[in-house]
Structure 1
Amino acid sequence: MAIWLTRLAIDRWRRSEQYREGEGRDADPLALVTETAHGPRITAVNTASWEESVRAGAMLADARSLCPHLQVAPADPVGDVAFLERLALWAQRWGPWNAVDPPDGLLVDITGGAHLFGGEERLLEDVRSVFARHGLAARFAIAPTAGAAWALAHFGKGTDTAHDSRLPQSLILQGDADRMKARLEQLPVAALRLDEDVLLILRRLGLKKIGDIAGIGRDALLRRFRTRRAPSANPLLRLDQLLGLVPEPLLPVFAVEQPAVQRRLLEPIRHRELLDQVMSDCAQDMARELEGRGEGARRLELGLWRVDGEVVLRSLEMAVATRDSAHMIRLFGEKLADIEAGFGIELVRLRATWVQALPMGQGDFDAAVECHGTSLGAFIDRLTVRLGDKAVRRPVSYASHVPERAQHWQPPLDPVPAGQDHLPLRARPLKLLDRPERIAVLYATPDGFPRRFRWRGHVHEVSRVEGPERIGPEWWRERAGVRLRDYYRIEDGDGRRYWIYRLGLIGDGRGGMPEWFLQGLCS
């Protein structure tokens, strides 16, 4: 069974909080836009916009000329795919094996299960009623193959759930092989799920229906498309998948079980001491749960259900996987100081939303813990809880000879990317400015380095100089005309040391006079 959500993005917008708060109305023209290199482009429109001749794919500026009062909202394609994945898990009520068909469809394997609903027609009726009840416009089709079901859902005769409550009987492909083939051959070539450039070639060749392709020799098409390996670029492969002559592998969606423990309290609690005791019990239960699975938690989420219905959430992320209950309690202890219990908390739930494999180990022989009292991972977790999620980072070398690109920042215990841990190190200042700052050179020697310069309102006399070190641009990523840099280590009369560079050379043909910048402070 193929399910095509014809207005997925707009239906998700209707379910959003912004729409429920009254900022969106079905009667008002609305378009979802995404930013492109040429400006905002429309990706989805509602019914009111469609009636105003606004179409998906148009530029926003052109659409506003047709509909000046058009309202816009940002599109969320990543959220649409995530919604499809959740919908695929929910659709397991009709079949245990479901796959996402991006950007707006699902494929459900109902083999051997239609009789549980009274047949395929009653199954489609149940699907249609459920989607209509949730306000999701969709089209459905049942066929022996995934490709045939997709083709019928998108191009078969029938109506979606938004406009007609009648069951689309024509979207069930039944009968013998010859009858099914004859029906599929009447569909357009776009029903083969081909790329746009392939569809354009087929139309120019006069092949507008699937039957037109099936009616010509395979050798002719093979010569034309023999270099195309992807299924979406090979009409013969798609045709064989449509008719069931070649299997079509699909990636099913499976639910990932997240370890979770909870305490449902007989009496609501309001005091911090009692909450700490419940939190301790949950942490110990979580440690046992993770130990039984051979895993450790990297991210934990604590939910507190209050009597008045409010839910308070607190989450933390660890530097390394752990199942140490004492460590969990210590980290959450600093996040519970501002908890407002209200009339009391009646349910506490602790869930591990990110886990990693963590084999059993003998902690008694951990020399680092015995000598220093705590492990490096626990120390970093404490700093992160106190200073913030992005406050604790470490620099790692990066394959670039340009100073501002020669290092990246990453979480402190993440492994160094392959190939970056053996890069040659060059002498660089310990402190680099976020951005090089322009300096005014008052006097430069014929050798090229300045004898006096002004930076941040102060004039510095140069007493010692080391250099130059010439650094060229990265030609594979820079635009043409980027100038060379000559770096100098200099020391002023007060003993302060700086790292400066001259951008460009006299007569290099890439601009006017060279410019000077200060980029680092030397020790």
Structure 2
Amino acid sequence: MTGKDSQNGARIVSACFPDLAMDRWRRITTQQRTLPGDDVPVVLSVQGTHGPVVHALSAEAHRRGVSLGARVVDVQAIHPDLHVEPGEPAREIKLLDQVALWARRWCPWTVRDGEDGILLDVTGAAHLFGGEAAMLRDMAARFQMQGLTARLAVAPTRGAAHMLARFGPAGCICGPNDLEVALAPLPVAALGLEHKTEQLLQRLGLKTLGAVMQVPRVALMRRFDRVAAELNPLVLLDRALGREGAPLDAPPEPPRWLARARLAEPVIDPVPHLEGLARDLSAQLAKAEQGARRLRLTIYRVDGEWRSRDVALAQPSREPAHLLRLMEGKLEGIDPGFGFDLLTLEALVAEPLALHQDHLDGARDAGRDVAALLDRLTARLGPDKVTWPVWMESHVPERVEVRRAALRGEAADVPVLTRERPLRLLEPPEEVAVLYAVPEGPPAQFRWRRVAFRVRRHEGPERIAPEWWRDKAGTRLRDYYKVEVIDGRRFWLFREGILGDGRGGDPRWFVHGIFG
């Protein structure tokens, strides 16, 4: 019953998440590290035409007057204590899609609404939650439990609900006979027009939707007859007022691969039932030519409590023996209480895995063996214990390579290095005492780890400036030198800062790497 007509007694709920980006960042940061203090302004940045710009901001940053779209470098000049984190708009959209599916606890028709909200067709469902007002309170409370700040509104059309959630009073409930009255005080920005169209309406003195409604329709049609329907203020207003249909086409739920084991009586040890779960799930995946990349084993106790364990895979797999081996030891430490009566094994993430034939000569696939080894090591030791290097785009040497969990790190292109780099980098760089040959020139002799080294020849300098979009104000530049000492060993030294740069005292020298 997707694509329901929103004109025939429909009731549409719009949930807008104005702080979606910051809410998502807080959820992730709280799990990984301590959040900055409330007195520290925090902004999320995305790449703009002339460098990073503000994508989202915290309450403290808003209080200080930081605006969306401002250049990060300009804001840092005014607020040196600004805390900048990278924004991820694509992941925010993915989160909205997930929230839209989760919101089907209230009704079967939900869909993402733009980049900051979702729509729910709750026609005939509000009474199940005690009425529309009680349902909105329930929604607000549950969204808050998920760490999301929501603005909610109910209206007979999706356009009206969208506008009221963003520009109307909080928790607005609009009846079918109150559309014009409810929409009249809203600004024309509620229509979501192009900037030039909105400016034209402003110059005409039409600052609210009520003012637009009072203008003769023929006069406005002449002005906007060549504007596309999705950006035409008359078409958008007609849809909001229910004069033109705007059905809510909710996408189907994604397929789920879930194996269940319902037990006739509670048991204390669920291990004997895991093999059947693995075979059942593998059969489902094989039928769809899919392979599991992430598994979740959930055990439900008779007292209503449940426990779950997740397992990640390096490559898609549907081999029951391999899936079963990854579950070994996952149930240790779980309190069985009075026993379990339901177990589920679900493929949270699946990828296409076509049927394939092994080599005729009996040779093994080395790639599959390595992936299976990574799976077993990660399952046994933990996801943060098995890591590999991932390349990052950065000019600062210690930021080029980072360690990521082997089953979570995303592949990246290897950066093209135009200059030779040492195979071994010291982390962190170690300070050395240097005797200069000439002012601001290469070192003639330096002492490192209580040993004096005399420089025979050198190459450099290679200047690396601070990354202003990431480093704090006052960070000093570096001049790198490749030096060869008397005994033939080669070191990578850098001087931090230059005399008279206004960013500290005398320059300091560090050894950062060793060649060969």
- Indicate the TM-score class for this superposition, using the shorter chain for normalisation: 0.5 to 0.7
Please show how residues 20-31 of structure 1 align to structure 2 within 5 Å. none
Q: Are residues 475 and 364 of structure 1, via their aligned partners in 2, closer, same or farther at CA, if it must alter by over 3 Å?
A: closer
Of 152, 155, 164, the residue aligned with 1:141 is: 155
* Structure 2 partner of 1:21: none
Q: Deviations over 1:259-303 (max 9, x none)?
A: 1112122343334xxx43311221111111110111111110111
Q: Are residues 521 and 8 of structure 1, via their aligned partners in 2, closer, same or farther at CA, if it must alter by over 3 Å?
A: closer
Counterparts of 1:510 and 1:156, CA distance in 2: 50
Of 160, 172, 179, the residue aligned with 2:176 is: 172
Instruction: Flag structure 2 segments of 5+ consecutive residues without an equivalent.
Output: 1-10, 24-37, 44-55, 66-90, 141-151
Counterparts of 1:33 and 1:253, CA distance in 2: 42
Counterparts of 2:454 and 2:247, CA distance in 1: 70
Counterparts of 1:81 and 1:245, CA distance in 2: 29
Q: Deviations over 1:13-56 (max 9, x none)?
A: 9xxxxxxxxxxxxxxxxxx999645995189xxxxxxxxxxxxx
Q: Are residues 190 and 367 of structure 1, via their aligned partners in 2, closer, same or farther at CA, if it must alter by over 3 Å?
A: farther
Counterparts of 2:221 and 2:131, CA distance in 1: 46
Q: Deviations over 1:105-138 (max 9, x none)?
A: 524286xxxxxx5xxxxx7666762661684366
Q: Relative to structure 2, which stretch is displaced further, 188-197 or 384-393?
A: 188-197
Please show how residues 484-495 of structure 1 align to structure 2 within 5 Å. 485-491=479-485
Q: Are residues 507 and 129 of structure 1, via their aligned partners in 2, closer, same or farther at CA, if it must alter by over 3 Å?
A: closer
Aligned-partner residue type, residue 41 of structure 1: A
Q: Relative to structure 2, which stretch is displaced further, 276-285 or 124-133?
A: 124-133
Of 466, 470, 474, the residue aligned with 2:462 is: 470
Asked if the contact 2:229–2:235 (Cα under 8 Å) also holds between the matched residues in 1, the reply is no
Aligned-partner residue type, residue 159 of structure 2: G
* Structure 2 partner of 1:218: 220
Please show how residues 97-116 of structure 1 align to structure 2 within 5 Å. 98-100=111-113, 103=116, 106-108=119-121
**How far is 1:376 from its partner?**
1.3
Asked if the contact 2:495–2:509 (Cα under 8 Å) also holds between the matched residues in 1, the reply is yes
Q: Deviations over 1:477-510 (max 9, x none)?
A: 58899645232244476x7653212245568898
Q: Does 1:440 align with 2:433?
A: yes
* Structure 1 partner of 2:384: 390
Aligned-partner residue type, residue 261 of structure 1: A
**How far is 1:384 from its partner?**
1.8
Relative to the length of structure 1, the TM-score reads 0.65
Counterparts of 2:315 and 2:115, CA distance in 1: 34
Aligned-partner residue type, residue 280 of structure 1: E
**How far is 1:471 from its partner?**
3.5
Q: Are residues 510 and 104 of structure 1, via their aligned partners in 2, closer, same or farther at CA, if it must alter by over 3 Å?
A: closer
Counterparts of 2:57 and 2:336, CA distance in 1: 48
Q: Does 1:266 align with 2:264?
A: yes
* Structure 2 partner of 1:252: 250
Aligned-partner residue type, residue 350 of structure 2: V
Asked if the contact 1:483–1:510 (Cα under 8 Å) also holds between the matched residues in 2, the reply is no
* Structure 2 partner of 1:71: none
Of 103, 120, 131, the residue aligned with 1:129 is: 131
Q: Are residues 105 and 341 of structure 1, via their aligned partners in 2, closer, same or farther at CA, if it must alter by over 3 Å?
A: closer
* Structure 2 partner of 1:520: 513
Aligned-partner residue type, residue 119 of structure 2: L
Counterparts of 1:246 and 1:133, CA distance in 2: 27
Alignment coverage as a number of residue pairs: 431
Asked if the contact 1:300–1:316 (Cα under 8 Å) also holds between the matched residues in 2, the reply is yes
Aligned-partner residue type, residue 422 of structure 2: P
2:107 aligns to what SS in structure 1?
Answer: helix
2:422 aligns to what SS in structure 1?
Answer: coil
**How far is 1:318 from its partner?**
0.8
Counterparts of 2:240 and 2:485, CA distance in 1: 75
Counterparts of 2:167 and 2:442, CA distance in 1: 72
Counterparts of 1:8 and 1:80, CA distance in 2: 14
Instruction: Flag structure 1 segments of 5+ consecutive residues without an equivalent.
Output: 14-31, 44-56, 61-76, 111-116, 118-122, 162-167, 175-179
**How far is 1:424 from its partner?**
4.7
Q: Which has the higher contact order (CA 8 A, sep 6+)?
A: 2
Higher-Rg member (1/2): 1
Q: Are residues 80 and 97 of structure 1, via their aligned partners in 2, closer, same or farther at CA, if it must alter by over 3 Å?
A: closer
2:59 aligns to what SS in structure 1?
Answer: strand
Of 430, 436, 441, the residue aligned with 2:423 is: 430
**How far is 1:313 from its partner?**
1.4
**How far is 1:362 from its partner?**
1.3
Counterparts of 1:240 and 1:510, CA distance in 2: 61
Q: Are residues 202 and 350 of structure 1, via their aligned partners in 2, closer, same or farther at CA, if it must alter by over 3 Å?
A: same
Please show how residues 338-487 of structure 1 align to structure 2 within 5 Å. 338-363=333-358, 365=360, 369=364, 375-410=369-404, 412=406, 416-417=411-412, 420-421=413-414, 423-424=416-417, 426-441=419-434, 443-446=435-438, 448-456=441-449, 458-462=450-454, 464-473=456-465, 483=477, 485-487=479-481
Of 12, 28, 41, the residue aligned with 2:59 is: 41
* Structure 2 partner of 1:52: none
**How far is 1:342 from its partner?**
4.0
Q: Does 1:499 align with 2:499?
A: no
Q: Does 1:92 align with 2:107?
A: yes
Q: Relative to structure 2, which stretch is displaced further, 334-343 or 201-210?
A: 201-210
**How far is 1:210 from its partner?**
2.3
* Structure 2 partner of 1:177: none
Asked if the contact 2:298–2:345 (Cα under 8 Å) also holds between the matched residues in 1, the reply is yes
Relative to the length of structure 2, the TM-score reads 0.65
Please show how residues 56-95 of structure 1 align to structure 2 within 5 Å. 81=96, 84-86=99-101, 88-93=103-108
**How far is 1:322 from its partner?**
0.8
* Structure 1 partner of 2:324: 329
Q: Are residues 318 and 435 of structure 1, via their aligned partners in 2, closer, same or farther at CA, if it must alter by over 3 Å?
A: same
Q: Does 1:293 align with 2:295?
A: no
Q: Are residues 280 and 313 of structure 1, via their aligned partners in 2, closer, same or farther at CA, if it must alter by over 3 Å?
A: same
* Structure 1 partner of 2:49: none
Once the two structures are aligned, what percentage of the paired residues are identical? 29
**How far is 1:316 from its partner?**
0.9
Please show how residues 157-236 of structure 1 align to structure 2 within 5 Å. 171-173=175-177, 186-190=184-188, 192-194=190-192, 206-214=205-213, 215=215, 217-218=219-220, 235=233
* Structure 2 partner of 1:23: none
Counterparts of 1:126 and 1:201, CA distance in 2: 45
Counterparts of 1:150 and 1:516, CA distance in 2: 59
Asked if the contact 1:301–1:316 (Cα under 8 Å) also holds between the matched residues in 2, the reply is yes
Q: What RMSD, in angstroms, separates the aligned Cα atoms of the two structures?
A: 5.0
Aligned-partner residue type, residue 129 of structure 1: G
Asked if the contact 1:392–1:412 (Cα under 8 Å) also holds between the matched residues in 2, the reply is yes
Counterparts of 1:243 and 1:366, CA distance in 2: 70
**How far is 1:6 from its partner?**
9.2
Counterparts of 1:297 and 1:498, CA distance in 2: 47
